Structure formats: C-alpha cells, structure tokens
Structure 1
Amino acid sequence: MSKIFEQGAFSRYSKRSLENATSPILEHSQFSAKTTVFISHRHDDLEDLQGVLGFLEDEYKVKVYIDSKDSSMPITTSAETAINLKDRIRKCDRFILLATNGAIESKWCNWELGFGDANKYPDKIAIFPLKPKGTYDFQYKGNEYMRIYPYIEFYDGTEKYSNGQQITRGYYVVTPKDGKNIYCSLKQWLSKGSIY
C-alpha cells in the first residue's frame, strides 16, 4: 500500500478559497477555540494547497494560515519576510509542510521547516507528503524527511499495529521514534491543547 498521497488527491476539497487563509493569526490566537495551522508550501503548489486547506478546514474545523496570499507580507522577499514568517509560525498552534517534491527542493520551505522544527518539534509539526501523480513512493524526494519528522498518512482499516491490533480506518500523524512508529489520529493531533 502507498504511504504517500498523490498530488491532486484532495482536489474535491478545492472549492475553498485561499483568500480566507490570510486573516491575521491574532484573530485566532490562544483565546480561540480553533486550532491554527501554518502550512509551509511552494507557491507553485497552490492547487494542491487549496485541496489540503479545504480538507483540513472542512474535516477538522481548524483555521489554516498561508503566507502566499497574505497582503501584509512584503511584495519582494526580504529580511522583513523572514521576520513576519517567524512571527506567524510561532503564533500558530501547529506547523505542516505541504511536502511536494518542489517544496522539498525549495530553500524557503526548508528554512520554514527548520524554524518550525525549532519551535514546534516534536509534537506540533508534521509533513504532509505529496508525490507526483503516477509515481512510486520510492521516487518521492521527501522520504528522508519521513524518517525524521512526524508525517500524515491514511490507513484503510486493514493494517495492524506491531502488537497485532487493527488500526482503525482514518488519517493519522505517524511519528518515527527509536525504530518504531507512534500513531496519533489527525483529529486528536489537531485538537487544541490535546497533544499525544
């Protein structure tokens, strides 16, 4: 079974406008009941971003923030951009890298991941792996990231934990640790204040 989602897999959720993901994070701070999620992404991946954003907001009722549509960001990338990004990452409850092959190669996505690592690791950061359509998992450029960082994966209910118990069908955040995997439902991981 494939572990890595294909690009376009969440297109049915693409009806959601990206413009709504730019409202100031301060509006959804620690006083809000909604969990806030910073999604690091490559700006060329807006179609997949729109689907993943819609999936997370529709299914898990979180508030997603993306910088590429934030009008308060500088037009030209600069030191101010980095300062603003640090602020947004710190203020969001969770950090997700929309890890397409292009994002894996992006210096800005890697910079954001490094800052997210310093501020959200180990339990508030995850990789959302997306490989090109029609490719194999081994061709995915982010495989090494999935050995280091928690990542999001879907289980269809036929898989089992190492103790033989059935894994309930659904989306999980899988954390590699000491040669084993720790599983947390995506719903629980996205619950404000409820970290496994």
Structure 2
Amino acid sequence: MIDLSSLLTYAPDTTIRKTERVVEEARARGDQTAFLSHSHTDAVYAKRVQAFLEAQGWRVYIDWEDATMPSKPDKETALKIKDRIKRLDWFLFLATKNSMSSRWCPWEIGIADGVKANERIIVIPTRDGYTNYGSEYLDLYRYIHSTTDGGFATFDAGRAQNGTMLRNMRR
C-alpha cells in the first residue's frame, strides 16, 4: 500500500500538455508509456503519480490533459480511452476511495484486462488513514508498493517478495 499523503511529496508538472503527442514521442524514443486510470476527483494524486513515474523515465498519459478528448464524456471519449489503453505499454490503476466507486475506472480496468497481457496491468493500492483501497486486485494483477529505502517496486500478483524497482522496468 502507498499512503496517499506520501504521494504529495512529489511535485507535479502543472502545465497541461497535449499528452497524446508527448506520449507518442516517448514511444518513439523507447521510453515506458502508461495509461493512468484514476478518478478525476483524485487529480492531485494522479499528477503526483505522473511526476514520480516521469522522474523514473516513464511517460504517463492522463486523459484530461489530452486536448483531443471531448469536453463532456461520450462515445468518442470511450473509443479514445480504449485506444490509449491498448496502445500504451502499461495500464496503471490508482486505487482510491474515489476510483473504487467511479463508473469509469472499473470499466477501464476491465478494458485493460481484455486487451493487455496480465503482467502489463499494475494496481497502485493506496491507504488513507486506516482504510486500504485496491486490495481486491492484488491477487489478480501486479501492484506497486513502497520499499524500505523510500522507493517503489512492482510485485507480481499475490506475492510480496522479489519486487522490481520501477526505474528498472522495461518495455
């Protein structure tokens, strides 16, 4: 689990970018790319996750940063989200109270489950105080957990040992 308050230590890039172009350029360079599924209510945490991963050399797609997305969710939104999930290297699910009760987030993880290899789906389980979110996914998908040295590693579904540090993950 990752304590939500610890995410706030990462300074986000507050500029809104045309993320689709940035991600395509990253793919061309061979950088890791990821779709970040999250509740828009948790935008502050999503930007912090993006900042942390980008410091590790990843490029993280956040749908509301994409200028080509419709202003109001519709069928076009769903088609674009499906396309991004399919094309990007990784699918990340930021599990919070808000994303667990969202209408879109469970749909997105369902899409990812159907189009991505299981090892390409990573849950970011969180904790706010005494409540944990995302635990039900830990036996299904890889997940991120904080390490004793202050870093983050991914662990295979159902395992709590022999994680891979995020900076060492490859396409």
Measured against aligned partners, the alpha-carbon deviations of 1:25-59 in whole angstroms (never above 9, x if no partner) come to 43333x3221111101100101111111111111x
Q: Is the 8 A contact 1:21 1:64 kept in 2?
A: no
Provide the residue aligned with 2:145 in structure 1: 153
Question: TM-score, normalized by length of structure 1?
Answer: 0.78
Matched, 1:174 2:155: yes
Residues 100 and 70 of structure 1, relative CA distance in 2, 3 Å threshold: same
% identical equivalent positions? 30
1:46 equivalenced with 2:14 (yes/no) = no
Aligned pair 1:10/2:2, yes or no?
no
Match of 1:142 in 2: 134
The residue identity in structure 2 corresponding to 1:188 is: N
The question of whether the paired residues in 2 share the 8 Å contact of 1:40 and 1:96 is answered with yes
After TM superposition, list the pairs within 5 Å mapping 1:68-147 onto structure 2: 68-132=64-128, 135-136=129-130, 139-147=131-139
CA-based RMSD of the aligned residues comes to: 2.1
Shift of residue 129, structure 1, vs aligned partner: 1.4
Query: Is 1:184 aligned with 2:164?
Result: yes
Structure 2 gaps of 5+ residues are none
Cα distance 1:52–1:184, how it changes in 2: closer, same or farther (>3 A)?
same
- What amino acid maps onto 2:165 in structure 1? S
Name the CA shift for 1:33/1:6 in 2 (closer, same or farther; >3 Å): same
Q: Which runs of 4+ in 1 moved over 4 A?
A: 179-182
Say if 1:14 and 1:47, in contact at 8 Å, map to a contact too: no
1:160 aligns to what? none
TM-score in terms of structure 2 length: 0.88
Alpha-carbon separation, structure 1, partners of 2:160 and 2:12: 37
Distance 2:162 2:132 in 1: 22
Matched residue SS, 2:48: helix
For residue 33 of structure 1, the aligned residue among 30, 33, 58 is 30
Whichever of the two has the greater Rg, that structure is 1
- More deviation in 88-97 or 8-17? 8-17
CA distance in 2, matches of 1:52, 1:21: 18
Gap change, CA 1:20 and 1:71, over 3 Å in 2: closer
- By how many angstroms is 1:102 displaced? 0.8
- Distance (whole Å) between structure 1 residues aligned to residue 80 and residue 89 of structure 2: 16
Letter in 1 for 2:14: S
Paired with 1:64 and 1:20, the residues of 2 have a C-alpha distance of: 11
Give the unaligned 5+ runs of structure 1: 158-168
What secondary structure does 1:176 align onto?
coil
Instruction: Work out the CA distance in 2 between the residues paired with 1:28 and 1:180.
Output: 31
SS in 1 for 2:72: coil
SS at match of 2:16: helix
How many matched pairs? 170
Classify the secondary structure of the residue corresponding to 1:8. helix
